[in-house]
Structure 1
Amino acid sequence: MSSFDELQAVIRRGAQARQAEVQACEGFLTLLYHALRAASGPGLPLNNVSMDPAPDPQEVLRPAPLGSWHAARYRLGLCEVLVRVRRVDGAFRGEYGLGEGFRVDDVTDESVLRLARQLLRDVIKMYGGAQEDGAHLN
C-alpha cells in the first residue's frame, strides 16, 4: 500500500468520529448563540445578536483532524467576536477575543449562559472598560 492509499484509508476510518465532533462543536456554538440572546435575563432578549459559522482561520488541513477548532463569528450589535471551540477530554475548550479562554465540562443551559455573560463582560473590557450595566446591552 502506498503512502497516498494509507492516507485515504486513515481519513475514511476517522470520518464518523470527525463528523460527531463537528456536530458537537457546532451544537455548542449554537447553544452559545442562544445564551447570548438571553444574557440580559428572562423576557429581555438581545435582538441584535447573530451568529455566522466561520472557518477557523488557523485551519491547515481539510477535513479537519480530530481535536481541531471549530469557529463562529457572533455579531453583538456594533462589534463581532470570533469564538473557537474544540473537544478535549469530553469538555469543550475555547477561546475568543484577545486571548480569553474557557472550559465547559458540563454543558447545561446555566453553564452556557454563564459563559455568554462572561464573554459579554470580557468584550466590554476589551473595548475600554465601559460600565458593565446590563440595561445597555441592547
Structure 2
Amino acid sequence: MSEFDELQAVIRRHADARQAEQRACEAFLNALYHALRTASGPGLPLNNVTLEFRPDPDLRLRPAPTGSFHAAWLRLGLCEVLVRVRRSDGAFVGEYGSGGTFRLDSTTEDDLLALARTLLRHVTGVYGGATTTAPHLN
C-alpha cells in the first residue's frame, strides 16, 4: 500500500469520529449562542446576538483531524467574537476573543450561562480598557 493509499484509508477510518466531534462542538457553540441570548436574565433576551459557523482560522488540514478546534463568530451587537472549541478528555475546551479561555466538564444551562456572562464581561472590559488579561473559566 502506498503512502497516499494509507492516508486515504486513515481518513476514511476516522470519518465517523471526526463527524461526531464536529457535531458535538457545533451543538456546544449553538448552546453558547442561546446562553448569550438569555444572559441578561429570564424574559430579557438579547435579540442582537447571532451565530455564524466558520472554519477555524488556525486549521491547516481539511477535513479537521480529531481533536481540532471548531469555530464560530458570535455577533454581539456592534462587535464580533471568535469562539473556538474542541473536545478534550470529555470536556469542552475553548478560546474566545483576545485571550479568554474556558474548560467546561459539564454543559448544564447554568454552566453555559456562567460562560456567557464571563465572555460578555471580558469583552466589555476589553472595549472599555479595563482589562489586559483574559479570564479563565474552569
Instruction: Give the alignment's TM-score, normalised by structure 2.
Output: 0.92
Distance 1:99 1:9 in 2: 37
1:40-71 Cα offsets, whole Å, 9 max, x none, are 00000001000100111001000000000000
Distance 2:49 2:98 in 1: 20
Give the C-alpha shift of residue 129 in structure 1.
4.5
Paired residue type of 1:94: G
1:12 corresponds to which residue? 12
Report the secondary structure of 1:40's partner residue: coil
Identity of aligned residues (%): 70
2:52 corresponds to which residue? 52
Give the C-alpha shift of residue 97 in structure 1.
0.8
1:122 corresponds to which residue? 122
Q: Does structure 1 residue 96 correspond to structure 2 residue 96?
A: yes
Structure 1: gaps of 5 or more residues? 131-138
Q: For residues 23-102 of structure 1, what are the structure 2 equivalents within 5 Å?
A: 23-102=23-102
Report the secondary structure of 1:39's partner residue: coil
Paired residue type of 1:43: G
1:107-136 Cα offsets, whole Å, 9 max, x none, are 111101110000000000110257xxxxxx
Report the secondary structure of 1:127's partner residue: helix
* Matched residues, number: 130
Q: Structure 1 stretches (4+) deviating beyond 4 angstroms?
A: none
Paired residue type of 2:123: V
Report the secondary structure of 2:20's partner residue: helix
Distance 1:70 1:22 in 2: 7
Distance 2:104 2:66 in 1: 18
Distance 1:44 1:106 in 2: 25
Instruction: Give the alignment's TM-score, normalised by structure 1.
Output: 0.92
Distance 1:81 1:116 in 2: 12
Structure 2: gaps of 5 or more residues? 131-138
